[in-house]
């Protein structure tokens, strides 16, 4: 094998292994799921560090932040419009209570999780697909499909993440700003959480959690947390809950 072939094989193996771990997290019950979650996190971050890509390439050091600020502004405008429509048709509702965390911590945790999702989608998957596939549009298409597939069987999130995957990947390649994309992702995700009826959204769960969802447990059963893997940072939430229990819940 020549160096180019070796590099492509490495990209392919890194892509398959990481995505396989992600699917395993989504479709595996507790307590194995928590182990697989942290294994996936360590694996993805470890490989990224070993690659020694420049921060600018990864979208972590954008050259012109103001140039891509419109992405966040557009997300805010879209969210306002969606909220107005939801209020008009009667589907607007507050964030569903999750565990014992205060609203501020839940929102912060979700914004962080949105950024991590964008890191995985863009800095990890898309960059490897760019090296594996001959055309940019092919890489964007496959990345968006993988992102949407990770949200099966939630029909609402499958459609929304497919559209967002296309848009976010194209914007990443143009601006290389993960911070703007992560914040926009968070704003839009929270907007979906309060504008789409939970009967269709299933508390924004995917995988096994979507199939096992019981509305009557949404407000008081902490064991449901591990399966909100797409739109809730359940590990962050779980850690915060445990901490608050030791420190007398706020």
pLDDT, tens digit, for every residue of 74-85? 999 999 999 999
Q: Rounded distance, CA 188 to CA 225, Å?
A: 21
Q: Rounded distance, CA 130 to CA 143, Å?
A: 10
Going by C-beta distance under 8 Å and a sequence separation of 6 or more, which residues neighbour residue 27? 207, 208
Q: Rounded distance, CA 240 to CA 85, Å?
A: 34
- The confidence score (pLDDT) of residue 246 equals 38
Tokens of 62: 């954008």
- The confidence score (pLDDT) of residue 104 equals 83
Q: E strand or H helix at 231, and its extent?
A: none
Spatial contact of 158 and 152, defined as CB atoms under 8 Å apart = yes
For the chain, the domains span 3-246
Structure confidence by residue, pLDDT tens digits, 42-75: 999 999 999 999 999 999 998 888 899 999 999 9
Q: How far is C-alpha 75 from the geometric centre of its chain's CA atoms?
A: 16
- DSSP character at residue 230: T
Tokens of 169: 């990947």
Q: What number of other Cβ atoms are within 10 A of residue 188's Cβ?
A: 19
Residue-by-residue pLDDT tens, the chain, 250 positions:
566 778 889 999 999 999 999 999 999 998 999 999 999 999 999 999 999 999 999 999 988 888 999 999 999 999 999 999 999 999 999 887 656 677 888 889 999 999 999 999 999 999 999 999 999 999 999 999 999 999 999 999 999 999 999 999 999 999 999 999 999 999 999 999 999 998 899 888 999 989 988 775 444 434 333 344 443 443 444 443 343 333 333 3
Spatial contact of 161 and 174, defined as CB atoms under 8 Å apart = no
**Average pLDDT score, the chain:** 85
């Amino acid at each position: 094998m020549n160096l180019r072939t070796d590099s492509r094989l490495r990209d392919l193996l890194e892509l398959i292994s990481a995505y396989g771990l992600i699917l395993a997290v989504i479709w595996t019950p507790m307590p194995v799921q928590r182990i697989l979650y942290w294994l996936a996190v360590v694996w993805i971050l470890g490989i990224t560090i070993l690659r020694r890509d420049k921060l600018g390439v990864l979208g972590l050091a954008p050259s012109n932040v103001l140039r891509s600020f419109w992405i966040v502004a557009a997300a805010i405008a879209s969210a306002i419009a969606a909220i107005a429509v939801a209020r008009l048709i009667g589907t607007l509702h507050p964030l569903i209570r999750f565990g014992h965390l205060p609203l501020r911590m839940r929102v912060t945790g979700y914004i962080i999780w949105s950024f991590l999702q964008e890191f995985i989608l863009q800095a990890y998957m898309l960059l490897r697909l760019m090296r594996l596939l001959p055309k940019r549009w092919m890489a964007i298409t496959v990345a968006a499909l993988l992102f949407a597939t990770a949200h099966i069987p939630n029909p609402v999130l499958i459609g929304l993440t497919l559209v967002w995957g296309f848009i976010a990947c194209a914007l990443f390649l143009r601006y290389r700003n993960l911070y703007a994309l992560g914040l926009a992702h968070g704003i839009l995700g929270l907007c979906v959480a309060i504008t789409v009826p939970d009967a269709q959204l299933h508390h924004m769960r995917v995988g096994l959690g979507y199939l096992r969802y019981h509305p009557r447990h949404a407000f008081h059963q902490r064991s449901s947390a591990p399966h909100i893997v797409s739109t809730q940072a359940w590990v962050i939430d779980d850690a915060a809950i445990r901490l608050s229990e030791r420190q007398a819940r706020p």
